[in-house]
């Protein structure tokens, strides 16, 4: 075995463990009301939380909102941290659940709100009477996705448009991996049918 190759990996793993240990100790001191330790802990975990949030959000405002959400939650549930257990899994679970909550809220808001249709500004109600601009392929696809049932729409948006992994999409949507797979399969079938029907229209 090549020991020189495993050394950097070992030292990196040791550094990760050390960081986790330090955060655990800082949290323990924060539980006793030590404000400087708590401040240091929050400052140190913020970039880590930002990196997690960036995996789920594109908009930087959403990333920052999620980070603040996690910090507030961490503050509220700080009494649930057990110093006998590793700190990072505790923090990561809080972060993932709060980010998933935010994504779910955003989905619900999107479902209730409807975008103002551009055709309202057109002179004639019939689209074919306003042949100013042929909609690009992507717009047709997005419009077709909008017509899908919500579970299918969510699955195809997270997995195909946002390019999330199955695990990330499952975390974000609260659906299981297998139901996401089924929903995506159905969504693609429906989209194929809808788009081919559009093309065949006179």
Piece of the chain touching another protein by CB under 8 A; list 14-22, 84-92, 140-148, 164-172: 84-92
Q: Which of 26, 56, 57, 67 binds another protein (CB under 8 A)?
A: 67
Sign of CA dihedral 47, 156, 114, 195: positive
The answer to whether residues 142 and 177 touch, using CB atoms and an 8 Å cutoff, is no
The answer to whether residues 81 and 15 touch, using CB atoms and an 8 Å cutoff, is no
Closest CB to another protein among 57 and 187?
A: 57
Closest CB to another protein among 9 and 35?
A: 35
Closest CB to another protein among 34 and 162?
A: 34
For the CB of residue 116, give the shortest distance to another protein in the complex, in Å.
15
Cα separation, 110 vs 173, in Å, equals 14
Q: Which of 58, 79, 128, 199 binds another protein (CB under 8 A)?
A: 79
Q: What residues between 125 and 184 interact with another protein by CB under 8 A?
A: none
Q: What residues between 10 and 49 interact with another protein by CB under 8 A?
A: 30-36, 38-39, 42-43, 46
Q: What is the CA radius of gyration of the chain?
A: 23
Cα separation, 167 vs 160, in Å, equals 14
For the CB of residue 26, give the shortest distance to another protein in the complex, in Å.
11
Sign of CA dihedral 162, 164, 170, 171: negative
For the CB of residue 13, give the shortest distance to another protein in the complex, in Å.
20
For the CB of residue 158, give the shortest distance to another protein in the complex, in Å.
18
Residues 6+ apart with CB under 8 A from 137: none
Cα separation, 193 vs 151, in Å, equals 18
Q: Which of 2, 8, 58, 85 binds another protein (CB under 8 A)?
A: 85
- Give the ranges where the chain is alpha helix by DSSP (H): 3-31, 35-54, 60-76, 87-112, 137-146, 150-156, 166-173, 177-200
81 touches another protein by CB under 8 A: yes
Contacts with another protein, residue ranges (CB under 8 A): 30-36, 38-39, 42-43, 46, 61, 64-65, 67-69, 71-73, 75-83, 85, 89-90, 93-94, 97-98, 101-102, 105-106, 109, 113
């Amino acid at each position: 075995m090549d020991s020189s190759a495993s050394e950097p990996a070992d030292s990196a793993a040791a550094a990760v463990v050390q960081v986790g240990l330090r955060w655990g100790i800082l949290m323990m001191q924060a539980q006793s009301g030590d404000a400087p330790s708590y401040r240091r802990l929050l400052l140190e975990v913020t970039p880590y939380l930002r990196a997690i949030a960036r995996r789920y959000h594109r908009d930087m405002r959403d990333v920052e909102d999620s980070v603040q959400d996690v910090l507030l939650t961490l503050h509220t549930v700080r009494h649930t941290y057990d110093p006998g257990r590793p700190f990072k899994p505790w923090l990561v679970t809080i972060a993932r659940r709060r980010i998933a909550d935010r994504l779910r809220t955003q989905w619900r808001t999107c479902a209730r709100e409807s975008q103002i249709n551009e055709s309202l500004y057109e002179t004639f109600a019939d689209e074919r009477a306003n042949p100013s601009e042929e909609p690009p392929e992507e717009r047709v696809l997005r419009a077709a996705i909008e017509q899908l049932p919500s579970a299918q729409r969510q699955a195809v948006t997270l997995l195909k448009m946002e390019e999330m992994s199955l695990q990330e999409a499952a975390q974000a949507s609260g659906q299981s991996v297998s139901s996401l797979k089924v929903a995506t399969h159905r969504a693609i079938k429906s989209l194929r049918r809808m788009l081919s029907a559009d093309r065949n229209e006179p």
